[in-house]
Structure 1
Amino acid sequence: MNAAPALLGYAALVGVTAPRVLLRSAWPHRAPALGVTVWLALTVTFVLALALAAAQLATPTEHLHAGLAGLLHACGVGPGPADPDPGTAERLAVALPVAVLGTWAGAVVHRCVRAGVHRARHRDRLDKVGVRCPRLRVTVLPHAAPGAYCLPGLRARVVVSDSAVRLLSPRQLDAVVEHERAHVAGRHHLPLAAAEGFAGLFPRLPLARHVRAQVALLLEMSADDRALRRHPDAVLATAMYELAASRTPKGAFGVAGPDGPSPAVVRMKRILGPRPAAHPALRSSLASAVLTAPLLPLLVACPPGV
């Protein structure tokens, strides 16, 4: 039995229906870090389903077990196939899934490298015009507009404009800096690069259209939560309001958040309103789903007992 139709149907379910369910759910805002993981797990299982479907379309009469054996042999693992001279179909069954997975991985690496180049250039400019503030452990940048952002990755920096230092109270400034340090400590640039790489490959897919914006928003909420552990809700919310119009350089995270004012409004409502924690049972079930999601395409292609 050829599993390509089932795999393509599974990919359609993940790429079209799953994002709608997530967008209507309230729990990602209660557990933003777990929400990021679920969104990225959907991208992984979608790509794996496409890769396995490509292998099945290349050899429609061959069971997936044989295709996987050929793929492992091509990688130098395991015994070779019974036919020492594979034909065009067998070669395609190996080349197509490798091309799908390689294109996806290349897109993510490209996003990481490009963002890293932007951050490196900006750090060089900061070294020339910025002033180190030992008390806050940040770089103060002369600028007329109040703003704050971080440059994650190698030689991470937290940057605050001198106008923001004058505008914000000491408690507000500490809350903003704590928010930016959460981005650096959590290496938030890596999941964002993964989301951007996937979104660039499948621009018309609903999952791709939503994953970047949702991952960026949830990462901001995760950084908010860390700042709120040490600072009152009103302090962070008022600081965000004061910096709402600030602009963020490429490759950086800004306290005002991504893509205009709407995400900032959502975050401020979350900060100032009740924030019930996600139920432990929900967390456990979602964590289990994240771990098993990459295996589901294999189960679709190779159901037990076949």
Structure 2
Amino acid sequence: MLAWLGLIVTFVVAASLALNHVVLAERQHVHSGLLGLLGACGVVAGAGVGEMAPAFSDIAALLGPAAIVLLPLGWLLRTGWKARRARQRQLDMLALVGSPAMEYDVTIVEHDAPAVYCLPGRACRVVVTQGALDVLSGPQLRAVLAHERAHIEGRHHLFLLVTEAFGRAFPGLPLARHAREQTALLLETAADDHALRFHAREELATAMCEVASGHTPQAALGAGGPGAVIRLRRVLTPQARPRRATWMTVVAASVSAPLLPLLFTCGHAV
């Protein structure tokens, strides 16, 4: 997930710098030092020029890169607001049709279709339908509840908001489509791994099969989730943990990737 977020940030940085250099292709100001680097990249208009006021073209050159940065941020706010409203509608409905089950700390809904899902956020809630209670044994239910609570504790909905906002800001971009799909799958596998720390693989796999067809409301995270076949194979087949060196390399590459466009395009200003 960190790698996908790193690619998203890298695209935004690279696109904003590319647009900035296209606009200033005829009149780039390159100075020495950090201010010169910022000026060449358009971060600071007229940096190092001293008392000279920034030209209108310098200011206009910043509008394009700023739009590329602000567009996904704007969609992030809008997507978060819509998701919060959808969760609030679900909470209002649960207050009318749901009944608390203190034994499992969940809300039960009278519905025949087996489904288990969570509503993340401040007023988080785990919801279980009566159909799921009828088909799941006690250990299976506890395993799938551990999966849902992993979503809540890990604040996984925030990762989905970022990829959803990026996809809305740049529709049609393959990176946006793949990032949204793969992040959703990785979040489910992360929750699966958390549940497997405390429950048997067979219990979680069976519970996933039973609730795979259940309907998950908007802005909720369901135990069925995307990539059910891939997740089942992964749950039933123990996976070797990556070596620490590999893990650290992936983390370092993901964190440093957004800096590469800056170095490639502005390295001459250093």
Q: Provide the TM-score with structure 1 as the length reference.
A: 0.81
SS of the aligned residue for 1:158 comes to strand
What is the aligned partner in structure 2 of residue 294 from structure 1?
258
The match for 1:135 among 96, 103, 111 is 103
The match for 2:5 among 14, 34, 40 is 40
What is the aligned partner in structure 2 of residue 168 from structure 1?
136
What are the within-5 Å matches in structure 2 for residues 188-199 of structure 1? 188-199=156-167
- CA distance in structure 2 between the aligned counterparts of 1:189 and 1:180, rounded to whole angstroms: 12
Are residue 206 (structure 1) and residue 174 (structure 2) matched?
Answer: yes
Are residue 95 (structure 1) and residue 66 (structure 2) matched?
Answer: no
- CA distance in structure 2 between the aligned counterparts of 1:66 and 1:227, rounded to whole angstroms: 47
When residues 63 and 282 of structure 1 are mapped into structure 2, their CA distance, relative to the original with a 3 A threshold, is farther
- CA distance in structure 2 between the aligned counterparts of 1:69 and 1:146, rounded to whole angstroms: 55
SS of the aligned residue for 1:215 comes to helix
Are residue 62 (structure 1) and residue 28 (structure 2) matched?
Answer: yes
Q: Provide the TM-score with structure 2 as the length reference.
A: 0.92
When residues 244 and 194 of structure 1 are mapped into structure 2, their CA distance, relative to the original with a 3 A threshold, is same
The match for 1:86 among 34, 55, 70 is 55
SS of the aligned residue for 2:142 comes to helix
SS of the aligned residue for 1:43 comes to helix
When residues 242 and 70 of structure 1 are mapped into structure 2, their CA distance, relative to the original with a 3 A threshold, is closer
When residues 144 and 52 of structure 1 are mapped into structure 2, their CA distance, relative to the original with a 3 A threshold, is same
SS of the aligned residue for 1:303 comes to helix
SS of the aligned residue for 1:139 comes to strand
SS of the aligned residue for 2:111 comes to coil
Which amino acid in structure 1 is aligned with residue 28 of structure 2?
E
Unpaired segments ≥5 residues, structure 2: 31-36
- CA distance in structure 2 between the aligned counterparts of 1:69 and 1:46, rounded to whole angstroms: 16
How many residues were matched structurally?
A: 263
Deviation string, structure 1 residues 116-171 (Cα, Å, up to 9, x no partner): 11011101100111111111111111111110000001201110011211210000
What is the aligned partner in structure 1 of residue 193 from structure 2?
225
Deviation string, structure 1 residues 10-52 (Cα, Å, up to 9, x no partner): xxxxxxxxxxxxxxxxxxxxxxxxxx11011101110111111
The match for 2:211 among 243, 259, 263 is 243
Which amino acid in structure 2 is aligned with residue 48 of structure 1?
V
- CA distance in structure 2 between the aligned counterparts of 1:98 and 1:166, rounded to whole angstroms: 54
What is the aligned partner in structure 1 of residue 202 from structure 2?
234
Unpaired segments ≥5 residues, structure 1: 1-35
What is the aligned partner in structure 1 of residue 33 from structure 2?
none
User: Offset of 1:72 from its aligned partner?
Assistant: 4.0
What is the aligned partner in structure 2 of residue 5 from structure 1?
none
When residues 85 and 223 of structure 1 are mapped into structure 2, their CA distance, relative to the original with a 3 A threshold, is closer
Are residue 113 (structure 1) and residue 81 (structure 2) matched?
Answer: yes
- CA distance in structure 2 between the aligned counterparts of 1:111 and 1:208, rounded to whole angstroms: 15
Which amino acid in structure 2 is aligned with residue 247 of structure 1?
H
What is the aligned partner in structure 2 of residue 271 from structure 1?
235
Contact 1:130 1:139 in 2 (8 A): yes
SS of the aligned residue for 2:108 comes to strand
Contact 2:29 2:40 in 1 (8 A): no
Deviation string, structure 1 residues 231-267 (Cα, Å, up to 9, x no partner): 0000000001111111110000000003xxxx10100
SS of the aligned residue for 2:126 comes to strand
Which amino acid in structure 2 is aligned with residue 284 of structure 1?
M
SS of the aligned residue for 2:267 comes to coil
- CA distance in structure 1 between the aligned counterparts of 2:50 and 2:206, rounded to whole angstroms: 66
RMSD: 1.9
- CA distance in structure 2 between the aligned counterparts of 1:176 and 1:274, rounded to whole angstroms: 18
Are residue 146 (structure 1) and residue 114 (structure 2) matched?
Answer: yes
Deviation string, structure 1 residues 198-255 (Cα, Å, up to 9, x no partner): 1222232221121111000000000000000000000000001111111110000000
